Structure 1
Amino acid sequence: MRIGGLASGMDTDQMIKDLMRVQRLPMDKLTQRKQTIEWQRDAYRSINTQMAKYNTNIFDTIMRSANMSAKTVTSSNSSRITATATAAAANSSFTIKEVKQLATAATNVSQGAISADPTVKIDPTQTLQSQYPEENVGDFGWKKGKIQNESLTLTEKQSMINLQNTDFVENQADLLASTIVKVNGKQFEVVTTKDGLKDNQVYFNMVDKKMEFSKDLEIGAKVSVTYATKSETEKYFTSSITTFNTSGVPQVEKFTFQGDKTLNQVIQEINSSPAGVSMFYDSFTDRVTVQRKETGNHNPGGQEMIFEGSFFTNVLKLNTSEEKGGDNAKFTINGLETERPTNNFTINGVTITLKEAFTDSPVTLNVNTNTDKIFDTIKGFVDEYNELLATINGKLKEERYRDFRPLTDEQKEAMSEKDIEKWEEKAMSGMLRNDQTLSNALDRMRSAMYSPVSLSGDNPTFKQLAELGITTSRDFMERGKLEIDEAKLRAAIEKDPDGVFRIFNADGPTSAEKGLARRMRENLAGAMDQVAERAGGSRGKNLNHQFTLGRNITDIDRQISNFERRLKQIEDRYWKQFSAMEKAMQQANSQAETMFAQLFGGQ
């Protein structure tokens, strides 16, 4: 604790503060210098952020053929047929004379009420075992046993897997029917012989309690197996649904449920399975309905959904032969009678959607260049270039107010927030004025944009921007801003959209053979690298020692740290000197008092 002025009566603390204020002047200059460099660094990084954004947007917009070769499709009757086209689609037309029928999904409905008691409807939230009692075993297909589930993730390649719970039900047919094996969600066919084992099959060895696949499963494969074990009190049932894929190959999905499952839980599991069906229970009619998630006829001459197991056939009363729908769309396009399994299909890059059947009046689809989308893409590219140009030019020309140095903490304490804001606005101005790094980058960007593109092939339609109606502003003060002749650009797009695309996206070994967008990205990448070398913050340069201004800041920090130690020593010296003075004055005062007492004490 420092206490001064007791003997002298002087404000020692204030005197030392005043003395130290003079000593701190070099420190304030260092701090101001550091702040200036940080402002300069932030200004550079702001430019780099804008360049990086432009660089990314070029790739995502004008370099995408989906934007620059966009097509639009018009329909003579959009209430009946609509269409979209990819960039690969040629300008063409399609006439659909008639749509005899739309594609439909196969459906099946219970042939009667499904409740066990005709006077009381089933509660889909209660367990099935409680609502379908023991005497209905034959109809329901109950079997005694407990369903076990095992799952594991392989840590090594293997084809043989040992089972943990091995107290199987004794009836081998029941065990085989209840066993479901999946690898990464794909169900395998369970067989009881190894002879001719196929890739989609698994050998279930009931004696040795093992499963064996035709080949090693990969590391990380998720294997799950379900099977029935002995139980005198619990019951389960099994069922399956067979559907057909787009190639007409049957896909069998087996289900095994414990009796404590509710109807809602059973339906939910069926709907989320790879069987590709959608089932729900209607309490009003006391029936269920099942519909394939895919439209079309994938099993010519047969049904799309085949139900097996007492639960489906006896309880839910689903009769495979009563299936409705599952039809292909039938239509005539450009004179050709054809079919599709869906109402949404693609021909030569054009995706056509049939909305209703008709035979009375043909519908025409015309595929043309989407001039508006291509125009908007190019305009966005030019607008963003102009914005970047204006930002960099603004920084290069920004006034530098050298009399407005960064404020010290002490100076800020004496000013209002509004005054501080106004002061710092001028102090931060001109951080990049006439900066050579940005000036060179700007020159390269302008050159890349204005130079002709050397395109291969005979007589390319366009070689430079001016031929598209994009020219440099005549106003010298705008320093290279681009202007668009809208009518001329639209005419160029309509004349040769591929030629317009090439002038921006052509590629080649030399800069002259590269399109304008590719050149711009290369120049932006180079500029960002140079700015990052100076100011960091991107391109992998985030630490002070990796960029020039960062190293300058580190050097100033080191100087500030050294100067702070020196100031501490100076302040300690001042306190020692003033303390010595106070001590001497205290001794002098004490001696004076003693002499006064001796001389005048006897009177």
Structure 2
Amino acid sequence: MVTRITGLASGMDIDSMVKQLMTAAKVPLDKLKQQKQILEWQRDDYRDMNSALLDFRSLLTQMKLTTNYRARQVASSDDSKVTATASSAAGLTSYSISNVTQLASAETIAAKNSITNDAANFDPTKSLQTQSFVTNPNWKTGVVETQTFNVTSDNQTISLTNIYLSTVDQWSVKVNGKTYKIVASDPAPGTNEVQVAADGTLKFGTPLVTGDTVKVDYIAPNRTESFTSDGSTTTYQLSRTLVGNVSITTTDTNNNVTAYTVNSDGSILDSTNAVIGNIDYTTGKITFNNPLAKDTKLDVTFTQQYSSFSIDSWTSKGEVKQNFLVQGSDSLNTVISKVNSSGVGVNMFYDSFSGKMSVVRTETGDFNSAGLDLQITGDFAKAISLETNGADSGSNSYVNVQEGKNAKFTLNGLETERTSNTFTVNGVNFTLKQTFDSPVTVSVTNDSDTVYQNIKNFIDKYNDLIDKISKKTSEERYRDYPPLTDDQREQLTDKQQEQWEEKAKSGLLRNDPILTGLLSKMRTNFYSTVQNDSVSANYNQIAKIGITTSSNFLDGGKLIIDDAKLKQAIQDDPTSVENLFRGDGGIIQQLYDTVNNAMSQLKDKAGNSYSTNQQFSIGRQLDDIDKRVTDMQNSLDDLENRYYNQFTAMEQAIQQANQQSLYLTQMLSGGN
């Protein structure tokens, strides 16, 4: 470390003198740093241009799509009877629809009778077990359970324990949300079918694969919930309400098991018949008179009441059948929500005024030629008066049925049917709104205004791009305004620094060969003749459809659109206009290749935000300058230390001379 003595003996401002000496020595270093700053600015300018090209390339990708050139407009001779829309795939033609004798309708099943004798007091938000039904749901004893399995290996075995095997036909098994049909043990299950073995193992006809999700709703004979005492709590809450057949045991820390008696009134008795607590069968809350010993395990086994029903629906995707398990603690609204979100394709509804239920299929049309499209069966179906056993296209003793119907009509002279009033023919989407006899004509024509606007927007974006590039490549270069050094910044105000830097950054891409070459190539692309069998000779250049270069030199080659001529070309020959732009060898493909090539060159030159310096040329230059800056800084540090060493030696010599002079003076004075 250099010991610096700064002018104590000589009285000179050594720091100032060294600084002045170093200022001259630092000139090459400052030039290197300025060169680095210019390269960084230039890199950023290149990247900014590349971002603009990326946006334009994305637009070119969009302009390759047929939808930009085949916009269709549809006119109906009577919108009150038929409306229509058309996709870009629709042909330019017309359709005649007549003799609409029947509109498509959804099958509806409506209960004839109220589910309760007291509709005013029936609460669909409260537990079903507490409500009054005309027909009892035939509650059974057991517990409705749900388990979900995430399959982690192909052909994974899935098994259930504590099951009511005799209730298998009421279960619901879904794989990835699709209902599987539960079949008998013989023969082997087929596609989308499942069997349940006596030991609770599920055998799938369609093998499970990794990533599948299996959900099973099933009946268990009972449910056991366990708790561990913290030594102070006296209350425990079961996860279920409206419980029955409760048995309670405790296991202490020495594994001693104690069983308790639970009376019908909910009182809990110990072995001496003393009441030690209570259970509320309605809420599932257990309360002990005193806390159980710490870490004692409490096991509570109980049952509930349940019922079931199934819905069999014929849909556009085939037959869908699903079983529904209903707990006595469920509300009617809960059941309705389960049905409506199940995927079985129906919408269930309860009318609180009449106390009646209805089910409407979510799809219109007739999908089951052999009978009804909806079949609802089971004890709970009877309780809500929706069982369809024996129902036909009219009604039975339980329900009124409005059978699903297809729309029937004549299309271009052909009698036909559709399951929906909205249907698609050759890219035209029709909607029938009423029945009628006389023909309604639907005409599909080219939407010239939309196509024109798409092309105009594209030309505007192109003009914006070349304007940005032209300005950048023609910026004036102020060579008398290099980047400011640190010392220079200290001498200028913030405003002066800003003004200086603005000029220092100007013109860094002036006459850049990549960008000027890009402009030239894009102009060539636009004015080339497109050779394509789908393009008429009358429209094989953009000038022939009304797009020309501005005569103003200052516009830098911007394109000008003759609106009337372009619209006329689109109207007269839309196929040629489309293929002039997006066809084989068309303008869009040529521009895409040109832009893509320029972007590659700019990336090689300046990289992007993900590039390392060694991956592009400016980055390699920056790394080289950084190395030279480091070497030069080390040399300057050595030079500065040498200057201080020299001045320190001078100070020490002066100090020594002063001491000798003082000594001689003292000696001479003493001699007198």
Give TM-score, length-normalised by structure 1: 0.88
2:203 matched residue in structure 1? 212
1:352 matched residue in structure 2? 430
> 1:293 is paired with a residue of what secondary structure?
strand
1:221 matched residue in structure 2? 212
> 1:404 is paired with a residue of what secondary structure?
coil
2:494 matched residue in structure 1? 417
1:192 equivalent in alignment to 2:184: yes
Indicate which of 459, 467, 491 corresponds to 1:382.
459
Q: Is the Cα–Cα contact under 8 Å of residues 22 and 640 in structure 2 kept in the other structure?
A: yes
Q: String of CA shifts for 1:508-558, please: whole Å, max 9, x gaps.
A: xxxxxx1111111011111111111111118xx711111111111111111
Report the structure, 1 or 2, having the larger helix content: 1
1:167 equivalent in alignment to 2:236: no
Measure, in 1, the Cα distance between the counterparts of 2:337 and 2:88.
41
Measure, in 2, the Cα distance between the counterparts of 1:349 and 1:360.
25
Shift of 1:115: 5.0
1:431 equivalent in alignment to 2:502: no
Shift of 1:221: 1.9
Residue correspondence of structure 1 range 259-408 to structure 2 within 5 A: 259-300=328-369, 302-315=371-384, 317=386, 321-324=399-402, 326-354=404-432, 356-359=433-436, 363-408=440-485
Q: 1:457 to 1:274 in 2, by over 3 A?
A: closer
1:481 matched residue in structure 2? 558
Indicate which of 522, 530, 536 corresponds to 1:453.
530
Shift of 1:595: 4.1
Shift of 1:322: 1.5
Measure, in 2, the Cα distance between the counterparts of 1:44 and 1:236.
72
* Structure 1 range deviating more: 555-564 or 580-589: 580-589
> 1:503 is paired with a residue of what secondary structure?
helix
Q: 1:587 to 1:302 in 2, by over 3 A?
A: same
> 1:323 is paired with a residue of what secondary structure?
strand
Measure, in 1, the Cα distance between the counterparts of 2:444 and 2:175.
45
Indicate which of 548, 567, 587 corresponds to 2:617.
548
> 1:250 is paired with a residue of what secondary structure?
strand
1:152 equivalent in alignment to 2:153: no
Q: String of CA shifts for 1:106-152, please: whole Å, max 9, x gaps.
A: 3344444445865632251x3333446xxx79821322212333332
Shift of 1:5: 3.3
Measure, in 2, the Cα distance between the counterparts of 1:408 and 1:316.
90
Q: Is the Cα–Cα contact under 8 Å of residues 192 and 205 in structure 1 kept in the other structure?
A: no
> 2:207 is paired with a residue of what secondary structure?
strand
Measure, in 1, the Cα distance between the counterparts of 2:162 and 2:117.
32
- Unaligned regions of 5+ residues in structure 2, if any? 223-244, 246-302, 392-398
1:238 matched residue in structure 2? 308
Q: Tell me the amino acid that sits aligned with residue 328 of structure 1.
A: N
Measure, in 1, the Cα distance between the counterparts of 2:197 and 2:134.
29
Shift of 1:401: 0.8
1:582 matched residue in structure 2? 651
2:139 matched residue in structure 1? 142
Which of the pair has more CA radius of gyration?
2
Measure, in 1, the Cα distance between the counterparts of 2:14 and 2:110.
101
1:516 matched residue in structure 2? 587
Measure, in 2, the Cα distance between the counterparts of 1:432 and 1:209.
76
1:533 matched residue in structure 2? 604
Q: Is the Cα–Cα contact under 8 Å of residues 112 and 317 in structure 1 kept in the other structure?
A: no
Q: Tell me the amino acid that sits aligned with residue 492 of structure 1.
A: A
Shift of 1:478: 3.4
Shift of 1:448: 1.8
1:71 matched residue in structure 2? 72
Measure, in 2, the Cα distance between the counterparts of 1:350 and 1:40.
53
How much identity, in percent, do the aligned residues show?
40
Q: Tell me the amino acid that sits aligned with residue 308 of structure 1.
A: T
Q: 1:317 to 1:86 in 2, by over 3 A?
A: closer
Q: Tell me the amino acid that sits aligned with residue 127 of structure 1.
A: S
Measure, in 2, the Cα distance between the counterparts of 1:338 and 1:385.
49
Measure, in 1, the Cα distance between the counterparts of 2:332 and 2:449.
54
Give TM-score, length-normalised by structure 2: 0.80
Report the structure, 1 or 2, having the larger strand content: 2
Measure, in 2, the Cα distance between the counterparts of 1:44 and 1:285.
75
Shift of 1:90: 1.7
- Unaligned regions of 5+ residues in structure 1, if any? 508-513
Q: 1:197 to 1:19 in 2, by over 3 A?
A: same
1:510 matched residue in structure 2? none
Measure, in 2, the Cα distance between the counterparts of 1:224 and 1:115.
33
Residue correspondence of structure 1 range 119-138 to structure 2 within 5 A: 120-124=121-125, 126-131=126-131
Q: Is the Cα–Cα contact under 8 Å of residues 193 and 206 in structure 2 kept in the other structure?
A: no
Q: Is the Cα–Cα contact under 8 Å of residues 122 and 131 in structure 2 kept in the other structure?
A: no
Q: Tell me the amino acid that sits aligned with residue 309 of structure 2.
A: S
* Structure 1 range deviating more: 582-591 or 214-223: 582-591
2:90 matched residue in structure 1? 89
* Structure 1 range deviating more: 34-43 or 99-108: 99-108
Q: Is the Cα–Cα contact under 8 Å of residues 105 and 295 in structure 1 kept in the other structure?
A: yes
